[in-house]
A and B are shown apart, each in its own frame.
Chain A
């Protein structure tokens, strides 16, 4: 219990949420890759690891971005707000595009089944 409270104090809530989402995305990718899911490759898994791993790292250790923040001209808490906003937008786009892609794929499968129906019944 004390240990949990110490972790909560050491990290802000947004850091835990961002890293939690990142771990979930990496976990999903790992399952797809290691169970040899359709169209999975090491490159795809590697890119996912870099993108989401990078976000988790930045959220847990925001001081890493100090150099970038100085360069851009933004300092302080505004970094966290911008980063969280960016992450949410990125996450939403990522999910929406995934859903669109899945629907497109399903439409193609249905269209294909319809196109092949007559041929299959003729051959059988």
Chain B
């Protein structure tokens, strides 16, 4: 008898009150009901909204950054017995239908980690973000020795085994690269799958998203993590 793994979707949010309801509806429509949303100290009413959604709603009382928020989510997921943990953004840019690609990759390739690659609609990606991602990819390769098509994608999936091994301390966006370092350190097997990304006016207008300035901060943090 084939036992279906328990798949838990983690969505970190910061001031996403306008779109989070739709994001959750799309994930549930795709057939995934185990959803954990972590509000990272939003200044709008995001937490009030997610409290009334059919999800596990957690709240950081103060803003700690995406890395810290995802780690809270993975701890919660392990606590409720997840076999596979999927992380996705809460601004609606990720397509919930792609979660199936991650699950299939786990079943077909027997890997520890599946990484999403934003290549299906690459022509729609803003130039500043393309440049920031390109620099981050190269720096990640130089510092951590991991050569990937998209080192900064937040749409990823991890086995429970991988979650137990991956230990990160970055609070902010350098988290994405730090995870790759941990994959390399623990010699976890991984594969990449293409994903859809919707660059809406809403998602590109958010100031805290990856851009050149945040890219430089990310690189600085990565270098500091090596030196300290």
Q: Is B185 positioned at the interface, with any CB of A under 8 Å from its CB? A: yes
Residues on A with beta carbons closer than 8 Å to the beta carbon of B56: 119
Residues on A with beta carbons closer than 8 Å to the beta carbon of B181: 41
Across the interface, do B75 and A47 meet the contact criterion of CB distance under 8 Å?
Answer: no
Residue total for A at the interface (Cβ-Cβ under 8 A): 24
Across the interface, do A112 and B225 meet the contact criterion of CB distance under 8 Å?
Answer: no
Q: Is B17 positioned at the interface, with any CB of A under 8 Å from its CB? A: no
Across the interface, do A39 and B61 meet the contact criterion of CB distance under 8 Å?
Answer: no
**Beyond A41-B185, A115-B38, is A104–B171 a contact (Cβ under 8 Å)?**
yes
- Which of A98, A107, A116: most chain B Cβ within 10 A? A116
Across the interface, do B227 and A116 meet the contact criterion of CB distance under 8 Å?
Answer: no
A51 to B65, CA, bound (A): 30
Cross-chain contact of A112 among B71, B169, B228 (Cβ < 8 A): B71
A107 to B228, CA, bound (A): 19
* 0/1 interface trace, chain B 147-176, chain A, CB 8 Å (1 if under): 000000000000000000001110100000
Q: Is A74 positioned at the interface, with any CB of B under 8 Å from its CB? A: no
Q: Which residue of A lies closest to B60 (CB)?
A: A111
Interface residues of B in 126-161 (CB under 8 A from A): 143-144
Nearest CB of A to B74, in Å: 10
Interface residues of A in 72-96 (CB under 8 A from B): 94
Write 27 A-B pairs (CB below 8 A) sorted by A numbering.
Answer: A38-B167, A39-B168, A39-B169, A41-B185, A41-B226, A43-B144, A51-B227, A97-B224, A97-B228, A101-B224, A107-B64, A111-B60, A111-B61, A111-B68, A112-B60, A112-B64, A112-B75, A115-B58, A115-B61, A116-B75, A116-B79, A119-B56, A119-B58, A119-B79, A119-B80, A123-B79, A123-B80
Give the interface of B toward A (CB within 8 A).
38, 56, 58-62, 64-65, 68, 71-72, 75-76, 79-80, 143-144, 167-169, 171, 181, 185, 224-228
Given contact pairs A108-B65, A115-B60, enumerate 11 new A-B contacts (beta carbons under 8 Å): A38-B169, A39-B169, A43-B144, A44-B226, A51-B227, A94-B228, A97-B228, A111-B68, A112-B71, A115-B58, A116-B76
Give the interface of A toward B (CB within 8 A).
38-39, 41, 43-44, 47-48, 51, 94, 97-98, 101, 104-105, 107-108, 111-112, 114-116, 119-120, 123
Closest 9 CB pairs of A and B: A108-B68, A112-B72, A115-B58, A108-B64, A111-B60, A44-B226, A115-B72, A47-B226, A111-B64
